[in-house]
């Protein structure tokens, strides 16, 4: 089955790439296995020089890469620019800090000398999604490569151009051949790669069902894995919040990347004192969003990545309305070419609706009205997910205390949830396990070895 580059703004196929057969896959894994022996012996300085050149190439060609991202998955071109720049930031960050993060840690014991060393594992399989086709790859690959591992990438089949472009960036920056390799394989071949004895670990970002399958295969073969899965992030507005600021940030938090982000605000949980006014401001600002061609700077909402994703989103919306939710805005697909869906708000969503419990991956905001502050916290935690959360209040100290009661991998006070190379990123519950970014992320795929000398 070919990998198809289809422009979601037009519905037209731009390019097709053939999938590899078993022999091509085996040859690539063997080449990566051979390359790993030398790469693990490279110094941090040598690895860092390569990653620094990767960052330089990303920035020098950001216009071309942003255009590629937009054409393959529909992201606004200015947001694609920011994604490329953030990818360069991750490369620079690990090039600068990896040696310190993985420096031997001396521990005083009864030995003459004892310490903990951090050594590479080998080949890491990265199974990555389409919604941030550059950032997701670089945030996983940069620390893994700086730690001395080799990376093989199975990217989403609808962004093959991005996958091959990333491989070319590494090669042109001087990374030795096969230290980073894009595998042009189908999803059905992932289990075979995990099972291969040359592969030591797997990092996966994507849906909860796919993540469960990856975890099952990794467990079967005793391979280390890190999973970043779905989210249903609460956006909790307290009675003393700055409603103008909170409603403005709510638009960004929900509709960034056309609403297709694991850490987008998904559930807007409002206490009674401010609910009506927040909804009024939020609706006014969402209604002003301009939908159109994502290549144009005037556009604020582009298409969803695929028609099948849009169809599933509309089924969730329709179910919520049947179950009593009020469609305040949008809640309909756009007729004509492209996978467009109107920026939408569902108010008074109730627990019996799918939208109350499931992740809505698209430009639809779910408003849930709480009875009290305590009820808002209970609603926030009444989900199988636990990726991110945000709290909005003029009393930051009080909100910070409440944040400790939120079951999530991160909690932001008076700011939208975002990832940052300096901070660990990941979730709890059905949002996955393990961490990316910061020093926590680079230590996920190393052998934490104790050395004891008498």
Give CA–CA dist 379/369, Å, rounded. 9
Q: Are 352 and 323 in contact (CB under 8 A)?
A: yes
CA-based end-to-end distance of the chain = 59
Q: Which residues contact 36 (CB under 8 A, 6 or more apart)?
A: 120, 122, 123, 149, 150, 179
Buried-state track 345-354, b at ≥16 Cβ within 10 A, e below 16: bbbbbeeebb
| Inter-residue contact 151 to 122 (CB < 8 Å) | no
Q: What's the token pair of residue 202?
A: 């797997």
| Residue 203: how many other CB atoms lie within 10 Å | 27
Structure tokens belonging to residue 404: 């400790």
Nearest to 104 by CA among 95, 114, 115: 115
Report CA 317 to chain centroid distance, whole Å: 24
CA distance 138 to 141: 5
Tokens of 339: 């996978």
In this structure, what DSSP letter does residue 334 have? P
CA 436 distance to own-chain centroid: 10
Cα separation of 413 and 114, whole Å?
41
- The rounded distance, in Å, linking the Cα atoms of 133 and 145 is 18
- Based on the residue annotation, tell me whether 331 is a catalytic residue of this protein: no
User: Is-catalytic flag, 225?
Assistant: no
Out of 36, 72, 167, 228, the active site residue is 228
Task: Count how many residues are written for the chain.
Answer: 454
Q: How far apart are alpha carbons 75 and 65 in whole angstroms?
A: 12
What are the tokens at 16?
């097709």
Residue 224, classified by CB atoms within 10 Å of its CB into exposed (0-12), middle (13-18) or buried (19+), is middle
Catalytic residue among 225, 262, 331, 410: 262
DSSP string, 182-209: E----GGGHHHHHHSTTEEEEEEES-HH
Q: 211: helix, coil or strand?
A: helix
CA 329 from chain centre, in angstroms, equals: 27
Neighbours of 57 (CB within 10 A): 18
Q: What residues are annotated to the active site?
A: 228, 262
């Amino acid at each position: 089955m070919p990998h198809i580059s289809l422009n979601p703004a037009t519905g037209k196929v731009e390019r097709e790439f053939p999938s590899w057969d078993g022999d091509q896959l085996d040859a690539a894994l063997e080449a990566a296995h051979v390359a790993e022996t030398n790469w693990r012996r490279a110094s941090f300085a040598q690895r860092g020089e390569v990653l620094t050149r990767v960052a330089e190439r990303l920035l020098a060609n950001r216009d071309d890469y942003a255009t590629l991202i937009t054409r393959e998955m529909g992201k606004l071109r200015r947001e694609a620019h920011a994604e490329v720049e953030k990818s360069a930031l991750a490369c620079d960050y690990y090039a600068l800090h990896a040696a310190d993060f993985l420096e031997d840690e001396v521990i005083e014991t009864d030995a003459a000398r004892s310490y903990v060393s951090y050594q590479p594992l080998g080949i890491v399989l990265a199974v990555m999604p389409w919604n941030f086709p550059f950032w997701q790859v670089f945030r996983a690959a940069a620390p893994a490569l700086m730690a001395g591992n080799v990376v093989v990438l199975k990217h989403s089949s609808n962004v093959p151009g991005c996958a091959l472009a990333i491989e070319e960036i590494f090669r042109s920056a001087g990374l030795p051949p096969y230290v980073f390799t894009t595998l042009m394989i189908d999803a059905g071949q992932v289990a075979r790669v995990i099972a291969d004895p040359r592969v030591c670990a797997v990092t996966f970002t994507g849906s909860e069902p796919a993540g469960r399958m990856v975890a099952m295969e990794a467990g079967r073969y005793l391979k280390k894995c890190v999973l970043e899965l779905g989210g249903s992030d609460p956006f909790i507005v307290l009675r003393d919040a700055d409603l103008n600021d909170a409603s403005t940030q709510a638009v960004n938090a929900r509709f960034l990347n056309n609403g297709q982000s694991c850490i987008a605000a998904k559930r807007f949980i409002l206490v009674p004192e401010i609910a009506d006014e927040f909804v009024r401001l939020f609706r006014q600002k969402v209604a002003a969003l301009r939908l159109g061609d994502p290549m144009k700077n005037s556009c604020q909402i582009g298409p969803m990545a695929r028609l099948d994703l849009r169809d599933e989103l509309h089924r969730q919306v329709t179910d919520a309305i049947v179950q009593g939710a009020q469609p305040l805005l949008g809640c309909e697909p756009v007729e004509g070419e492209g996978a467009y869906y109107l920026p939408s708000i569902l108010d008074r969503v109730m627990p019996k609706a799918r939208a109350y419990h499931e992740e809505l991956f698209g430009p639809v905001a779910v408003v849930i009205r709480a009875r009290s502050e305590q009820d808002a916290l209970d609603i926030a935690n009444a989900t199988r997910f636990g990726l991110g959360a945000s709290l909005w209040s003029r009393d930051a100290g009080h909100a910070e205390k409440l944040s400790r009661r939120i079951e999530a991998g991160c909690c932001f006070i008076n700011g939208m949830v975002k990832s940052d190379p300096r901070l660990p990123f990941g979730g709890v519950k059905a949002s996955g396990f393990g961490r990316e970014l910061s020093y926590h992320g680079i230590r996920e795929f190393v052998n934490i070895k104790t050395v004891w000398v008498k």
